[in-house]
Structure 1
Amino acid sequence: MSKLKVSTIKKVLNRNQKMTADRLRSFKGFEKFSNQEAKEVIKKLEHLAAIVCKHVQNSK
C-alpha cells in the first residue's frame, strides 16, 4: 500500500470517532449487550471493515 493511501486512511480514521460500547448499545438490537459483548462485536466489525476496505482497494 502506498504511503499516500496509508496517510489518507489515517486522516479519515482520526477524523471519525471509534465505536464505543455505549454508542453500540444505542442501536436497535444491541441495547442489552454487556460491555464485554459490545467490545467483541466492535472488534469483529472493525475486522470486517478492514477486510472490505482491502477487497475494495484490490479490486481497483
Structure 2
Amino acid sequence: MYVMPAARGHRLGQRILHHLEQHALTTRATTLLLETGRANHGALALYTAADYTPIAP
C-alpha cells in the first residue's frame, strides 16, 4: 500500500492495514506477509506498531 504525501497524517495506512487484517480473518488466512524497503521508516514503524515481526529478506 502507499499513501501519497498529501494524504499522510490521517492514519490512512493504519486504517488500510486494519481492513486487510479483518479481511484476512474473514477469509481464514493463516499468514500475512508485508513487504517494504529497509529505508521506508514510516512503513516499518506502522508494521512494528501493529506487532508485525521483521523477517530476513
Structure with bigger helix share is 1
Q: Same fold (TM over 0.5)?
A: no
Q: TM-score, normalised by structure 2?
A: 0.40
Greater gyration radius: 1
